[in-house]
Amino acid sequence: MRVGVPREIKTHEYRVGLTPGAVREYVHAGHEVLVETNAGAGIGADDEVYQRAGARIIATAAEVFAAAEMIVKVKEPQPNEWVRLRPGQILFTYLHLAADPEQARGLLASGCTAVAYETVTDAKGGLPLLAPMSEVAGRLSIEAAGGALQRHKGGRGLLLGGVPGVAPAKVVVLGGGVVGTHAARMAAGLGADVTVLDKSLPRLRELDELFEGRVRTRYSTIEAIETEVFAADAVIGAVLVAGASAPKLVTRAMLKSMKRSAVIVDVAIDQGGCFETSHPTTHADPTFEVDGVIHYCVANMPGAVPITSSQALNNATLPFGLALAKKGLAALAENPHLRAGLNIHRGRFTHKAAAESLGLPFSPADETIAA
């Protein structure tokens, strides 16, 4: 198969769909890889490095999209990219469609087959292609919170871990999944006072054992959320409903009872965010203030550390991408975990949660592929 890798064009997005090492694996498997010039610049991989890996360097994104049978990206296609997709072409990338009706309409109109990293599953019910970026984003969320808490950036003027004789900042993490776990790990490691809320008692028990008492756990209820958020210096939104819009756990009315210049970091912003007042921001302008509370809502947080992120992402996506390149639609038919990643196929929505979030008709993936 001819596989195309365009340069990412989202603001301050430096990751790349295929690293040179991944390209080498595709070429070794007998596939042709077309890489847009300078696609790997953000990870320090120039065109010569990709050529040595076996790729063919292409001058423009338009040529990559026109020639490739499968497009491998990192972030969701932008408007000038989805218009270049066509029927029969496979798109393999993050999509996060539940919060992006415009992109959904564009992909439906294109007739392409869009497979989303974030909804591919594994035998344990996990999301193996979302996990590595969730790990990165969870850790970065604490760095972001620590920076935003600095007074010259509008924050309260607190050091997350405090110093001897001075209390640390109180960090509240909403959600005990991959993002929440890594956020709690980073915050606790810096010496912050950390509480994690989740609705799963088994998960709370796991976290209690994992952190050996260094992190408090609390069952998530409206009352518990209010109590913890009102006392917090920083709140990390780490709630995920696979493929669907994130639930709004903190309302605008609640902001008025929060500490002035407290910080919210909404890691769920790709799925619409779990704070009512959130809207996507970029690394160029990452924060805004609502009712005296600082909001950090960058929709591509891992793009800030592209070498780490690209390598981690490629480690996870490589076997699935190779399967698609080898077998095409047959790979989706044969592998139920990869099929769970199918969001759009030939003008039909094939992921139920995403379709319901957008109020669009849904067609089961297995039936759509077979049609």
For 17-45, b where at least 16 C-beta lie within 10 A, e where not — what string? bbbbebbbbbbeeebbbbbbbebbebbeb
Taking the CB of residue 168, how many other CB atoms lie within 10 A of it?
19
Backbone torsions φ then ψ of 35, nearest 5 degrees: -120, 125
| Whether 34 contacts 5, CB under 8 Å | yes
Residues 268 and 299: their CA atoms lie apart, in Å, by: 8
| Whether 369 contacts 335, CB under 8 Å | no
Burial class (CB in 10 A: 0-12, 13-18, 19+), 167: exposed
Residues 115 and 357: their CA atoms lie apart, in Å, by: 18
Q: First vs last Cα of the chain: how many Å apart?
A: 23
Q: Which two tokens stand for residue 56?
A: 């063919």
Helix or strand or coil: residue 5? strand
**Across-strand partners of 250?**
275
- To the query of whether residue 270 is one of the catalytic residues in this protein, the response is yes
DSSP H stretches of helix in the chain: 20-28, 47-53, 61-67, 79-82, 101-110, 131-148, 178-189, 201-211, 222-231, 252-255, 306-327, 329-334, 336-339, 352-358, 365-370
- To the query of whether residue 96 is one of the catalytic residues in this protein, the response is yes
| Among 31, 182, 270, 351, the one annotated catalytic | 270
Region class of 362: left (phi > 0), else alpha (psi between -120 and 50), else beta: beta
Question: Which residues carry out catalysis?
Answer: 96, 270
